Structure 1
Amino acid sequence: MKIQPDRIDTLAIQAHGPGWLHAGGQRYEHSVVIAASGVLRAWDCTRFEALTVEHFAQLAELAPEVVLFGSGPRLRFVPPALLRPLIERGIGVETMDTMAAARTYNILAGEGRRVVAALLIESGHG
């Protein structure tokens, strides 16, 4: 049996609530992309309805094995056409509300997975 310790050197989300999250020592009240590889940056999308194929192409460039899409305060599924850049590269996509995506990201990142979370924090929430 192979025993592998959880990684402690990965970028994690320390706290979150409606309309905000805390990661990398900073509070964010806007959409973010966070990757276990150490990427933490703003994600230029303020509303679910404003998502474009380009938003998902940016995620594909990070070459993760899986993308966790946090759809905001409630679960909403992205039209498959917008996910084309991920699908074409064989990158898995899981959709959940943003708070669930943040928790799931921490688990997968702690396991050493190549995970990216795209967390939608909509303006006016929180």
Structure 2
Amino acid sequence: MRLTEISYGTAQPIESYGPGFFRVGGHVLRGPCLITPWDAGLWGGLTDTETPLSLGGKIDVLFLGMGKDIAHAPKAFRATLEEAGIGLEVMNSPAACRTYNVLLSEGRRIAAALLPV
């Protein structure tokens, strides 16, 4: 079997997650988080569209991790992002973390807004 080392350049992948937390760049973030290739921090949750909107022009797609289980994004949240030209992909948070890391390694313009599991 051939193994290929994954390189993220200067971007920081999501290293791990668990009950109520995400680890990025060696730092533990507790609660809802917004993670981009250049930064990671706390996020106000599904009522906070202002923070993801600030990424307009910097990202093409936002992965929305809805926690342990998949659920629909609030219509207003989806509409606001789509009006700003930001695509939204909704999945559970573990899948959003994995998808984010894969596309990050490809150099894609992405971000992840994650609710804890």
AA aligned to 2:13 is: A
Find the counterpart in structure 1 of residue 70 from structure 2: 75
In 2: Cα distance, 1:6 partner to 1:113 partner? 13
Equivalent residue pairs, number: 110
Letter of the 1:22 counterpart: R
CA RMSD of aligned residues (A): 1.7
Superposition misfits of 4+ residues, deviation over 3 angstroms: none
Residue in 2 aligned with 1:98? 93
TM-score when normalising by structure 2 = 0.83
What amino acid is the match of 1:19? G
What percentage of aligned pairs have identical amino acids?
35
Distance 1:83 1:10 in 2: 26
Q: How does 1:1-40 map to 2 (within 5 A)?
A: 6-36=7-37, 38-40=38-40
Cα distance 1:68–1:95, how it changes in 2: closer, same or farther (>3 A)?
same
Unaligned runs of 5+ in 1: 46-50
Q: Is the 8 A contact 1:70 1:97 kept in 2?
A: yes
Determine the structure 2 residue equivalent to 1:118.
113
Cα distance, 1:6 vs structure 2? 4.8
Residue 16 of structure 2 contacts residue 22 of structure 2 at CA under 8 Å; is this kept in 1? yes
Q: Give, in whole Å, the separation in 1 of the partners of 2:8 and 2:39.
A: 16
Secondary structure of 2:99's match? helix
Mapped contact 2:43–2:51 kept (Cα < 8 A): no
One-letter amino acid matched to 2:34: V
CA distance in structure 2 between the partners assigned to 1:76 and 1:112 by the alignment: 28
